[in-house]
């Protein structure tokens, strides 16, 4: 069976790894450390997927620019205190194995830093499945298309043969900006109706549904 896509690009947090709650906690705890108004869960979830500085600017708009480094340090402190406890969503490792067997090229485009992604890949055991990686400290933050454009160039895939999968509007808008197809997952950071507003090919509510869709339409 011929695949409709050559390259499948995954977001990491909230798409492959169940980490949204830990990110929300770290943003809120860092805000408390600096004596700033604490964003509620929804505000914090809305910035998941962005590069760290962009995320903090949006989640904590009262943060003075000179405090960005301190805020980032406190965020990392709180996130790293929990990241060893984080796990993949159930079924993700099996999905990667099936997709690799089907001959897809697989990649990651994430708002994490490269050291953070390398740590997560080592902890999760997924590192061997991906042919290329792009992070927010290597490229413009989502929804800028640079991550996808570089991945397509590196792996020799055109926009019409590339699929971006993510749990946030930032992922789906990046796909639009790069001219690729987008697929939403509704089990992560952003609400299903927010994802659907960007007209993805589909919005799947479980990893099981995601695998079924990819095997039927990928």
The residues carrying an active-site annotation are 11, 13
Contact 117, 104 (CB under 8 A): no
Q: Give the number of other Cβ atoms within 10 Å of residue 65's Cβ.
A: 8
Terminal Cα distance for the chain, rounded: 10
Helices (H), ranges, the chain? 20-33, 41-46, 52-59, 68-80, 92-101, 114-124, 146-155, 169-178, 192-196, 207-217
Contact 18, 29 (CB under 8 A): no
Q: What are phi and psi of 187, to 5 degrees?
A: -100, 10
3-state secondary structure of 181: strand
């Amino acid at each position: 069976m011929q695949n409709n896509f050559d390259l499948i690009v995954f977001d990491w947090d909230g798409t492959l790894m169940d980490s949204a709650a830990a990110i929300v906690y770290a943003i809120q705890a860092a805000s408390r450390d600096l004596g700033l108004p604490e964003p509620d869960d929804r505000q914090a979830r809305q910035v998941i997927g962005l590069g760290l500085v962009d995320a903090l600017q949006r989640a904590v708009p009262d943060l003075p620019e000179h405090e960005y480094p301190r805020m980032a340090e406190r965020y990392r402190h709180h996130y790293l205190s929990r990241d060893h406890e984080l796990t993949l969503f159930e079924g993700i490792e099996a999905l990667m194995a099936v997709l690799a067997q089907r001959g897809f090229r697989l990649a990651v485009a994430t708002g994490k830093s490269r050291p953070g992604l390398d740590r997560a890949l080592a902890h999760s055991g997924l590192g061997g499945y991906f042919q290329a990686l792009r992070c927010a400290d290597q490229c413009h933050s989502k929804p800028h298309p640079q991550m996808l454009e570089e991945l397509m160039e590196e792996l020799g895939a055109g926009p019409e043969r590339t699929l971006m999968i993510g749990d946030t509007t930032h992922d789906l808008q990046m796909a639009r900006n790069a001219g690729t197809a987008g697929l939403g997952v509704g089990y992560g950071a952003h609400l299903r109706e927010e994802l659907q507003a960007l007209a993805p090919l589909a919005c799947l509510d479980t990893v099981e549904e995601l695998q079924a869709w990819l095997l039927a339409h990928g």
